[in-house]
């Protein structure tokens, strides 16, 4: 399973199916809620389990910042 993406389009597609990354009984039929623990790990807010959710790569973050800059 892929966790890091170079474009927002790829990331958005992965975010459409977050249950593939984490699915617990406590979060069924609820809005996905991602938390951060004291060490910066992403967690499921409902069960507290550390979960590796999809993110942008540094290259993807840089490209997104450039796109936003060009919009202004």
Task: Indicate yes or no: pTM above 0.75.
Answer: no
Total domain count, the chain:
1
Question: In b/e form, how buried is each residue of 2-36, taking b as 16+ CB within 10 angstroms?
Answer: eeebeeeebbeebeeebeebbeeeebeeeeeeeee
Q: Which domain holds residue 58?
A: 4-71
Rounded to the nearest integer, the mean pLDDT of the chain is: 91
At 17-48, the pLDDT tens digits run: 888 899 999 988 888 899 999 999 999 999 99
> In the prediction, which pLDDT does 72 show?
66
């Amino acid at each position: 399973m892929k966790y890091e993406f170079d474009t927002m389009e790829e990331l958005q597609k992965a975010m459409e199916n977050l249950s593939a990354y984490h699915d617990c009984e406590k979060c069924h039929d609820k809005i996905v809620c991602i938390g951060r623990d004291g060490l910066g790990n992403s967690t499921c807010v409902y069960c507290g389990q550390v979960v590796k959710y999809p993110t942008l790569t540094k290259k993807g973050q840089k490209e997104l910042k450039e796109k936003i800059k060009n919009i202004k």
